[in-house]
Structure 1
Amino acid sequence: MTPERLTERVRDGVPLAGALGIEVVRADAVSALLRLPPSPLSLRPGGTASGPALMTLADVAIWVPELVATDGGDPTRTANLSIAFLRPAGDRGVLAEVRIVRRGRSLLYAEVWMRAEGEERPCAHVTSTWMRAAPA
């Protein structure tokens, strides 16, 4: 799937991702890079990216490699998401790099490092466990 198609799928599947303007920059079945553009909608008082915006970015970032691995399927759901806010991201765009650490039969474990555009140091770190949805 192309980054453009994945962006469309993410925005359709998670309307909040569309409202925030989240876009897929690159992706494969084990990693991805997503971008949260600067927007008044994603800022908290004080002019920095809000926690809910960063959590949304992380959650959809983890979903993207799974979409690639399943050719657009949707077999997993977030079971746990833990985020550590390391420093304010400021009012710039935020990049999220996700890596699937382990993909098992029933669980998927991933981590996401986020940084403000133009920065080397991370602004947040996320670990998350996803589970396979039971067949309908």
Structure 2
Amino acid sequence: MPVQPIMTVAAINRFLETDFPQLGGSDGGYSVVDVAPGTAVLRLLTGSQHLRPGGTVSGPTLFALADVAAYVAILAHIGPVALAVTTNLSINFLRKPEPGALFGRARILKLGKRLAVVEVAISPEDEGETVAHAVATYSIPPRASEAETVQV
């Protein structure tokens, strides 16, 4: 049975705007649109800053979308832990995405005390074919109560 989310869409969007202003909040094109048991969906409205020569969305943009979508899925289920960090992310670019809205649909594969593994499928707004597929591993820092018991 998938783990239940403990943060709402609105709470995660607020957290990202305050703790990660470099994403640009809704002005940067990112917004969390859904959280559900074991999943989260992040929307990126791509603009000219996200394009590569030839008019397609750049690889670094897709990589960032996958990374932030995985982070959002984890936060939705463990709470606002700013210091959870990516330890690995592997991405496959499958098709050239056109400019416009892209969705990172994240699904938690494993959520442990110290590590989380999340799969992310990126597709256009119309839920067409997947344009990129990623698997991310995140390191989750110990909770304050756990850190106190470990320190001697």
Q: TM-score, normalised by structure 1?
A: 0.87
User: Contact between 2:75 and 2:81, CA under 8 Å: does it hold in 1?
Assistant: yes
Structure 1: 5+ residue stretches without partners: none
Instruction: Give the counterpart of 1:128 among 120, 136, 143.
Output: 136
Larger radius of gyration: 2
Find the residue that maps to 1:48 and give its secondary structure: coil
Structure 2 counterpart of 1:9? 15
Tell me the equivalent position of 2:29.
21
Choose from 37, 42, 46 the match for 1:34. 42
* Greater Cα shift, 80-89 or 10-19: 10-19
User: Alpha-carbon deviation of 1:105?
Assistant: 2.4
Give, in whole Å, the separation in 2 of the partners of 1:124 and 1:23. 19
Query: Sequence identity, in percent?
Result: 35
| Unpaired runs of at least 5, structure 2 | 1-6
Alpha-carbon distance in structure 1 between the residues aligned to 2:36 and 2:70? 11
Give the structure with the higher percent strand: 1
Task: Tell me how far 1:38 sits from its aligned partner.
Answer: 2.6
TM-score w.r.t. the length of structure 2 is 0.79
Q: Which runs of 4+ in 1 moved over 3 A?
A: 11-16
Q: Structure 2 counterpart of 1:117, which letter? A: E
Q: How many pairs does the alignment contain?
A: 136
The residue identity in structure 2 corresponding to 1:7 is N
2:137 alignment partner AA: T
Check whether the contact 1:48–1:89 (CA below 8 A) recurs between aligned residues: yes
Q: Output the aligned Cα RMSD.
A: 2.0
